[in-house]
Amino acid sequence: MAHDVALVLGGGGAAGNAWEIGILAGLADAGVDLIGAADLVVGTSAGATAAAQVCSGVPIAELLADILAGPGRPAGQPGERPPSLPMATVFERMRAIGAAATSAADLHRAMGAFGLESDAVLGPGADQRRATVAARLPRPEWPDRKVIVVALDAHTGEMVALDRDSGVDLVDAVTASCALPGLAPTVAVNGTRYIDGGVRSTENADLASGHATVVVLSPLGGRGGTPTERDFEGLRRPPEADLSAQVEALRGEGSHVEVITPDAGSRAASGRNQMDPASRGPAAHAGFAQGRQEASRVTLG
């Protein structure tokens, strides 16, 4: 194959982002420098934030220490809360969209329409949302290495692989990849509005095609169709969006694929609400311990 190592970072809320940082720090502490080895990093939703963080040049141990130290830098005005929709309403709408969709394209278009519709309420918080994402990134510039941030065109439902050659600012790309309809406003860039890439697939591991080794970190364990509080996207997706199907296809092409999902300790530490910022410290700590254990089975060549 033309390339060696691809790292895929899946979505999974605040807890998932912290768990991924913990896993990578634990692997590095055990002698497996997955960040340094990867010539492609694919990030979706919370994984897009993690991709920008770990490829920023800031040592992974420092990123982990920042999480364990407590809340990050504040963004927006003190005491200011962005507009929101009731969580129960959002989940109910997502379940209805997933149940009614007859194809992946149909689902993506419907979710895009939901995102555009929700902008009537969520739109005033767009600047604050962007500032919040920017505060999470150590660097505002795209890394030198190949990083793909996955989003969907809210107008057409088509997947967009954003990178440093796309003409989209890194902060805008990550904000777009995290723009889950109903929970965050769509992100406007050059006349196009984008929504969360996790609507297509929680991991989008198929974008690592052509790499000899693919390591997938999946905070949600590849679960894309169970509408539970833990699987915060709550969507019934078509079979081709499932992580197992994407991994099977990669292996069929000759890639060596390793998938890391939260073990029992990491699941307990993350709690039931993946989006709760209070889960970050425990999830990162558990991820670090798990990463050290996973090092024995992660081979990079």
206 is catalytic: no
Closest Cα partner for 181 from 96, 241, 300, 264? 96
Buried b (16+ CB within 10 A) or exposed e, 72-89: eeeebeeeeeebeeeeee
- Here the tokens at position 247 are 């991994």
Residue type, 295: A
- Whether 3 and 39 have beta carbons less than 8 Å apart is answered as yes
- Here the tokens at position 70 are 């407590």
196 is catalytic: yes
The burial of 190, by beta-carbon neighbours within 10 Å (0-12 exposed, 13-18 middle, 19 or more buried), is given as exposed
Distance CA 23, CA 71 (A): 19
Candidate list 66, 119, 153, 196, residue with the active-site label: 196
Distance CA 283, CA 125 (A): 28
- Whether 21 and 240 have beta carbons less than 8 Å apart is answered as no
Residue type, 226: T
Distance CA 63, CA 25 (A): 8
Distance CA 10, CA 246 (A): 13
* Token pair 């169970």 in the structure block, residue: 226
Degrees (nearest 5) of the Cα angle 183, 186, 187?
130
> Phi then psi for 196, rounded to 5 degrees?
-55, 130
CA–centroid distance for 261 within its chain: 14
Active-site residue numbers?
A: 45, 196
